[in-house]
DNA sequence: ACTAAATTAGTACATTCGTACAAATTAACC
DNA sequence: GGTTAATTTGTACGAATGTACTAATTTAGT
């Protein structure tokens, strides 16, 4: 028999409890990894009872779902702020996006949270769809800049270049992230990324992308 | 009280059992993720008893350690084969390395295994050290090519460029890997990568890397 | 103040987990 | 062929897990 979620968390008190829960869950996920994430640990971390946790999240999967949504929202909100004060110069805009994303990798939360998400996405459909959404959203302004800098590329080609740039930056997470060996070099890595991507976007031709060797 | 490992696996039979165990463990890790990896499931997959599994791997951590070693070895052996028939032209050599690594991302094992490893490395010291070793090994031939193509760069700068290239390629795993949305574009991504990295290595200056904005 | 709804706490249960251990079986060697 | 070592099986136990459920407590509306 399945429990029905009763805790809507619409009252002030309910919302506060939900925040305690999500913060606790996120802390555990980041510090110990998904394999160590349990309902009891989350309850202890949030300083509430297991029963209370179940009132808001009847199943562990419900909690995970909301945890992912919540964590993603935080990044998205920061990312949206980039839009404000967006420069009309596509090259400058591209620089600022790259700089923002690479430097964000130094954030301890980002460093550990995203690899967990990627691993999760390999076996959890919801995490997989969420990933698609986030990165599609990140690619949008990239695609806009690329189109304006290099108008010769087709829509499909622009999408692939944007994917390449976005994926490349994500790959640095495991190396220059917080606490990682190359963390000291994060500034230089951002420099290399900006120089490399900018040069590439300017010079790349449709034939470079679609040629068959 | 701690058990002492007795199974050396030196006999033919022992080696076969160990292979059954490692294959079972790897399959579970790839298909279900680390959080679902249990001694009992591994035993069932290997078609042996739990006791027998414990004979070779007294603790789960012992198994994980050997599993990581074994899986890494497979990639390394493939990677070493690149060395054979290595072209004296550094540019051609760089092309072939990039092509090999990017296309390897399409391998279903690589696609799911590496994100698990990255997530593991955030909380498991052994996985972390192993990662350092693998990627340092991958970077070696990259650094050699970069030094020869662009002799103006210092040793430290060459290392950072190699890190950038290696990390960039790893980042594509979550997007163009087997079963991923962009898997069809893996060839074009390799093209963009080759064009982008080659151009960058040729043109980048020491000032590009170390300038402070 | 009274009542109903929202929230919290506490308990209980079946399952799975890692691991310890003893006994049985098989293989190897002289 | 008998002995020893290597391998395999089976069982057991305590701890942790997800979740169902009931009762107590707090909050909000009238």
Distance A42 CA to C8 C1' (A): 16
Residue in B closest to A120 by C-alpha: B33
For chain B positions 36-75, those within 8 Å of chain A (CB to CB) are: 36
- Cβ–Cβ of A122/B132 closer than 8 Å? no
For chain A positions 128-147, those within 8 Å of chain B (CB to CB) are: 131-132, 135
Collapse the DSSP code of B61 into the 3-class scheme (helix H, G, I; strand E, B; otherwise coil) and give the result: helix
Which residues 6+ apart lie within 8 Å of B19 measured at CB?
none
Q: Which two tokens stand for residue B132?
A: 């350092």
Per the structure, the residues numbered 74 to 133 in protein chain A that have their CB within 7 angstroms of any atom of strand C are: none
- Cβ–Cβ of A203/B199 closer than 8 Å? yes
**What are the pLDDT digits (tens) for A51-110?**
999 999 999 999 999 999 999 998 899 888 888 767 789 999 999 999 999 999 999 999
Distance B50 CA to D9 C1' (A): 9
Note the pTM of the prediction, 2 decimals: 0.92
A4 pLDDT exceeds 50? no
Which of left, alpha, beta for B9 (phi over 0: left; psi -120 to 50: alpha)? left
Tell me how many helices (H) and strands (E) chain B has: 11, 0
Calculate the alpha carbon distances from A173 to A17, A24, A41, A164, B91 in Å: 32, 23, 27, 15, 27
Q: Whole-angstrom Cα distance, residue B34 to residue A57?
A: 24
Indicate the average pLDDT of chain A: 92
Compute the average pLDDT of residues A141-153.
97
Q: Give the nearest nucleotide to A63, CA to C1'.
A: D18
Beta strand residue intervals within chain B, DSSP E = none
Which residues 6+ apart lie within 8 Å of A27 measured at CB?
A45
Q: Give the nearest nucleotide to B6, CA to C1'.
A: D6
Residue nearest to nucleotide D8 (CA to C1'): B52
Tell me how many helices (H) and strands (E) chain A has: 11, 0
Positions of strand C less than 7 angstroms from a protein CB: 6-12, 16-23, 27-28
For chain B positions 10-39, those within 8 Å of chain A (CB to CB) are: 31-36
Of B5, B141, B133, which Cα lies nearest the Cα of B85? B141
Percent of chain A, pLDDT > 90? 85
Name the strand (E) or helix (H) holding A80.
helix A60-83
Distance B71 CA to D7 C1' (A): 25
Residue of B32, B99, B115 best to disrupt the A interface, most CBs of A under 10 A: B115
pLDDT given at position B1: 29
Q: Whole-angstrom Cα distance, residue B160 to residue B158?
A: 5
Q: Whole-angstrom Cα distance, residue A177 to residue A154?
A: 34
Distance A11 CA to D29 C1' (A): 14
Q: Using CB atoms, which residue from B112, B132, B175 is nearest to A122? A: B112
Strand C within 7 A of B28 CB: no
pLDDT given at position A10: 60
Q: Whole-angstrom Cα distance, residue B18 to residue B53?
A: 9
Collapse the DSSP code of A12 into the 3-class scheme (helix H, G, I; strand E, B; otherwise coil) and give the result: helix
Q: Whole-angstrom Cα distance, residue A191 to residue A174?
A: 18
pLDDT given at position B198: 97
**What are the pLDDT digits (tens) for A173-197?**
999 999 999 999 999 999 999 999 9
Of A161, A170, A18, A70, which Cα lies nearest the Cα of B115? A170
Q: Using CB atoms, which residue from B116, B132, B189 is nearest to A164? A: B189
Model confidence band, residue A160 (pLDDT cutoffs 50, 70, 90): very high
Is the four-CA dihedral B54, B58, B60, B64 of positive or negative sign? negative
Compute the average pLDDT of residues A115-123.
96
Q: Whole-angstrom Cα distance, residue A187 to residue B212?
A: 8
In a structure prediction context, what are the per-residue pLDDT tens digits for chain B, which is 213 residues long?
Answer: 233 445 565 667 778 899 999 999 999 999 999 999 999 999 999 999 999 999 999 999 999 999 999 999 988 998 888 887 777 899 999 999 999 999 999 999 999 999 999 999 999 999 999 999 999 999 999 999 999 999 999 999 999 999 999 999 999 999 999 999 999 999 999 999 999 999 999 999 999 999 887
A7 pLDDT exceeds 60? no
Q: Does A174 touch chain B (CB under 8 A)?
A: yes
- Cβ–Cβ of B164/A123 closer than 8 Å? no
Q: Which of A4-13, A114-123, A152-161, B46-55 has the lowest mean pLDDT?
A: A4-13
Which of left, alpha, beta for B49 (phi over 0: left; psi -120 to 50: alpha)? beta
pLDDT given at position A2: 34
Compute the average pLDDT of residues A25-41.
97
CB pairs under 8 A between A and B: 161
A163 pLDDT exceeds 80? yes
Residue A23 to chain B, least CA–CA distance (Å): 19
Q: DSSP letters along A15-59, please? A: HHHHHHHHHHHHHHHHHH-GGG--HHHHHHHHTS-HHHHHHH-SS
Residue in B closest to A31 by C-alpha: B123
């Amino acid at each position: 028999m399945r429990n029905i979620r009763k805790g809507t968390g619409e009252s002030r008190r309910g919302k506060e409890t939900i925040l305690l829960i999500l913060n606790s869950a996120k802390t555990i996920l980041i510090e110990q990894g998904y394999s160590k994430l349990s309902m009891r640990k989350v309850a202890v971390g949030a300083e509430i009872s297991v029963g209370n946790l179940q009132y808001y999240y009847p199943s562990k999967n419900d909690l995970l779902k909301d945890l992912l949504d919540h964590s993603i929202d935080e990044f998205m909100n920061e990312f949206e702020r980039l839009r404000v004060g967006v420069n009309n110069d596509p090259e400058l805009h591209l620089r600022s996006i790259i700089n923002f994303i690479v430097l964000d990798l130094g954030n301890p939360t980002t460093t550990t949270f995203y690899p967990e998400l990627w691993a999760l996405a390999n076996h959890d459909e919801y995490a997989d769809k969420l990933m698609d959404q986030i990165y599609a959203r990140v690619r949008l302004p990239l695609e806009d800049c690329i189109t304006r800098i290099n108008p010769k590329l087709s829509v499909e080609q622009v999408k692939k270049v944007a994917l390449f740039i976005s994926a490349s930056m994500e790959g640095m997470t495991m190396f220059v992230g917080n606490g990682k060996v190359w963390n000291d070099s994060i500034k230089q890595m951002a420099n290399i990324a900006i120089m490399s991507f900018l040069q590439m976007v300017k010079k790349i031709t449709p034939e470079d992308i679609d040629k068959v060797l």
